[in-house]
Amino acid sequence: MLVNCVAYHHGQKLSDIPLGEVHSHLLRPDCFVWVALKDPQPGELASLQAEFGLHELAVEDAQKGHQRPKIDEYGSSLFVVLHLIEPAGSDLQTGEVAIFVGPQYVISVRRDAQLGFTEVRRRCEQEPELLQHGPAYVLYALMDTIVDRYFPVLDALTEEIEGIEERIFAGQTTRVQIEELYLLKRKLMILDHATVPLLEVAGKLHGGRVPPICSGLQDYFRDVYDHLLRLKQSIDSLRDMVATAISVNLSLITLQENEVTKRLAAYAALVAVPTMVAGVYGMNFTNMPGLQWAYGYHASLAVMALVDIYLVYRFRKAKWM
């Protein structure tokens, strides 16, 4: 589906144009066209390939989707793939945007994502002095916006692990906490898979041999790279926190089980002493000391009670009860 198609000249918006008028604008110097598509059909990409001369391998990747974040250079044009991450209930939904960048065009192909780039277009149009850099600045604005959208997701994951930790140390060390921690770990992995390859993409646009189309914008792409580094460090810290929380949760569960075992052992000891005494005097032998004693029964009960009272005292002192 075509979202919009806009022509720009010297950083100023000319007008929204139909795809049939793209060729006439491409013939004008200092003019470029920005086309936005969402979940396109094969025929739509084929027509754009013929109009803009897109490389067939890049078109194939954009059509199939499910690509890792990357940047490919085809002559004077670039093909960039970025992941879009949006909250979807208790999980994360992963989308994808493929961006074709040429000297006179930018084509963004969005898949499996609801949140578009209307604010990116508005931002670019409000900065005509920067939009004069052409399609490369649009690429920067798209990358910057996508990376900035990762931060709220990371903040939500941080709040989630803090809540789980509070419940763990409040004594709620159950299987549910383990399942929540593993789900959180999977979310961090999704975010990490979107961020780490993107570091390589941003690195190629600001350091070493920069593609000619992006020359003059290295400082802007370096800013994106710095944001990605900060994201990577935060993700690594959260993953360590999740691993520690899982370990602590399992340790607390073991401690709780040990406490239960100690309590059961203490109660078993309290029952064992009277059982032993009663068992000895219940063997029905003829010659046993104390059998004919008038106070033997009461003395036996007293001994049992005194031993149990002493055991209760020692168990409580040892914090077994």
Of 56, 204, 73, which Cα lies nearest the Cα of 143?
204
> What's the whole-number mean pLDDT along residues 2-21?
86
Which band of pLDDT confidence, cut at 50, 70 and 90, is reported for residue 318? confident
> What's the whole-number mean pLDDT along residues 233-248?
88
Q: Please state whether beta strands 105-111 and 31-38 pair in parallel, antiparallel, or not at all (unpaired).
A: parallel
Read off the pLDDT of residues 145-177 as tens digits, 9 standing for 90 and up: 999 999 999 999 999 888 888 887 777 666 778
What does pLDDT average to over the chain? 86
Please check the confidence at residue 98 and state whether its pLDDT lies above 90.
yes
Please check the confidence at residue 206 and state whether its pLDDT lies above 90.
no
- Token pair listed for 187: 């979310």
Containing 210, the helix (H) or strand (E) segment is none
Pinpoint the alpha helices (H) of 66-217: 118-125, 128-131, 135-169, 175-204
Partners of 105 in the β-ladder = 33, 102
Domains contained in the chain, CATH given: 2-252 (3.30.460.20), 259-317 (1.20.58.340)
Can you give the pTM of this predicted structure? 0.79
Partners of 70 in the β-ladder = 81
Residue with tokens 């093909």: 79
Of 127, 125, 136, which Cα lies nearest the Cα of 7?
125
Read off the pLDDT of residues 247-280 as tens digits, 9 standing for 90 and up: 887 777 777 777 778 888 888 888 887 888 777 7
- Token pair listed for 160: 């989630």
Report how far apart, in Å, the C-alpha atoms of 273 and of each of 259, 283, 302 are.
22, 16, 12
Partners of 92 in the β-ladder = 87
Which band of pLDDT confidence, cut at 50, 70 and 90, is reported for residue 195? very high
> What's the whole-number mean pLDDT along residues 175-186?
85
Neighbours of 16 (CB within 10 A): 9
Read off the pLDDT of residues 210-235 as tens digits, 9 standing for 90 and up: 888 888 899 999 999 999 999 999 99
Read off the pLDDT of residues 100-157 as tens digits, 9 standing for 90 and up: 999 999 999 998 888 888 899 989 989 889 888 889 999 999 999 999 999 999 999 9
> What's the whole-number mean pLDDT along residues 48-61?
90
